[in-house]
Every structure is written in C-alpha cells, then in structure tokens.
Amino acid sequence: MGSNGDTEKEPSRPADQDRRFDHFADEINSAPSHDAIMTLLQGRLLDVCGVDMASVFLIDSLKMQLVSWLVLPGESLRKIRIPIDKTSVAGYTASAREQVFINDPYDKDELNGIDPGLKFDSSWDSQAGIHTRQVLSTPIMVQRSLLGVIQLMNKRDGDTFSEIDKHHIENLANTLGNALLRLQNPS
C-alpha cells in the first residue's frame, strides 16, 4: 500500500496547507499598508483557503454595521453593509463573536439550530450569479475588540470545511486583526 502515490501524498497535505497559511500570514504581517493587505487578500485568499468565494467585512463602529472591505470573486457586488445582529451569518458572527459553520445556508432548520433569528439572504447569491453551499465565518478580534469578520463560502471540489480549515481561518483572522491594528497604531 505504501507504493500508492495517493496514500503517500495524503499525510503531507495538511502540512503543505499549514505551510501555505503560515507563508500567507507572514506576508500579511509584513504588509506595509492597508492597501498592501487588500492586494494580498485579493490575489491569494481564495486559493490559500481553497474556496470559491470569500468576504472580509470591517466594522463601522459609529453605525454598528459591518462593511464589506473585500468580496471575492466580487466583480458583480458592490459595498455591502450588514447590521451587527443575529439576522445574517456575518452579522451573527460579529454579534456572537464566535466562529460559525453552516453546512447548508438554505436549510432553515440548521440556521434555527444556531439561532432562531438567523437567516440567510439568498439575494446576494442572485446578484452574484452563484449558489452558496456552505459558509465558514469567523470574527476578526484583537483582544476583546471586534474589527470585522472573514467569511468563506463553498469549499472547492465539493469538500466540506474541516477542523483544519476552521483552525486556519481563526489564525488568519487573528493575523489580519493584528496587522490592521499595527497599521492603525504604528509605534
């Protein structure tokens, strides 16, 4: 069995994925500006995370809303503003300040199991011409301060998000939060 190429590659897959995420995190940490971070995310977020779609929302604390900073692939969507409440996946993630995984955002029972007020707004799918199959959403936090939310949609190749994916997006959210804070408060 050890001669089967697929079996030999499988154990290295998580290590390769870890290295890609670590390298991506290093690039974000060394980015000299918000624009440089945005460019990195635009160019690599989908591939590094192995997803079809992603959004990064930053908080508008004056209006208590999340504002899309980045929507990928994103050519058809403009700025998105979402209230920080439990009526949307990103809003719930920000409000609860916890990671959310939804296997089928169209399944009202699954959403209700997370929170009775949680809804999935399929109009974004219509506008973008896509179909969201699953969502992994994580708050961007620094200490106890909420800075935003990273939302990944549709793991590629029909896979589902794994525990490794959940760990990686948490690390990415921490890295992004610390990089954004560093750029706001240069020493």
Residues 73 and 53 sit within 8 Å (Cβ to Cβ): yes
pTM for the complete prediction?
0.87
Q: What pLDDT, in 10s, does the model give residues 136-164?
A: 999 999 988 999 999 999 999 888 999 99
Q: Give the start-to-end residue ranges of the domains of the chain.
A: 5-184
DSSP secondary structure letters along 87-141: TSHHHHHHHHTS-EEES-TT-HHHHHHH-TT----THHHHHHT-----EEEEEEE
Q: What pLDDT, in 10s, does the model give residues 85-144?
A: 999 999 999 999 999 999 999 999 999 999 999 999 888 888 778 899 999 999 999 988
- CATH (one of 3.30.590.10, 3.30.450.40, 3.40.50.740, 3.30.70.20) for 5-184: 3.30.450.40
